[in-house]
Structure 1
């Protein structure tokens, strides 16, 4: 793996992990702003701790060595959640600024996945 690719991978992965961990914790503890936000989107608040738990587990999955299949699922989950967030904000007509966080995390997910080292990828059959 080229050094440049390794740098791209770690920068994207660290920022992705920080973003998902921080939003996961906020959702897990049901911070008031997060409760208001999810209610404004029309979702029940019981989704917050589930989303928060999944995000934290996903961060652990992408950071620990080995377990490439688990990493694939974690990246897919991050991508699905961020696409869902963007569509949810679009559907209620939120301001453009509300798309920045999910869009940034979506881009970081793709960059981290794309530049991941060979030992973090599934072996080709």
Structure 2
């Protein structure tokens, strides 16, 4: 379980780091969908900043209650993104992409919880 936790967490953190950079720099391929979804131009900067904070928290070596909050925050982000794309009628790929990231995040979270419960024995 510990290996599953580490692998999924590292994969997730790398992907999120790359998307955080593109959010903060408001690259065209980020700004255009944000406008299409009807959100303000400054939203990617806020989301990217939140992603960087979440990355730092999830990278911490020991379990803390903050990790639970980071997992919850990312879940809200991905469910909101999928819902937003679905509401405006975007293609199914746009809806499923954030849900794929949520699935990776969920595997990371479940394996973390199982690893913690095995360590307590």
Ranges in structure 2 where 5+ consecutive residues have no aligned partner: none
1:55 correspondence with 2:51:
yes
After the TM superposition, list the runs of 4 or more consecutive aligned residues in structure 1 that deviate by more than 2 angstroms: none
1:32 correspondence with 2:23:
no
* Deviation, structure 1 residue 112: 0.6
Q: How does 1:1-125 map to 2 (within 5 A)?
A: 5-66=1-62, 68-116=64-112, 117-118=115-116
- Look up the SS of the partner of 2:50 in the other structure: helix
Count of matched residue pairs: 116
Normalised by the size of structure 1, how large is the TM-score?
A: 0.87
Ranges in structure 1 where 5+ consecutive residues have no aligned partner: none
Structure in which a larger fraction of residues adopt helix: 2
Q: Which moved more, 1:60-69 or 1:38-47?
A: 60-69
Give the aligned CA root-mean-square deviation in angstroms. Answer: 1.6
CA distance in 1 between partners of 2:62 and 2:4 (Å)? 19
CA distance in 1 between partners of 2:11 and 2:63 (Å)? 21
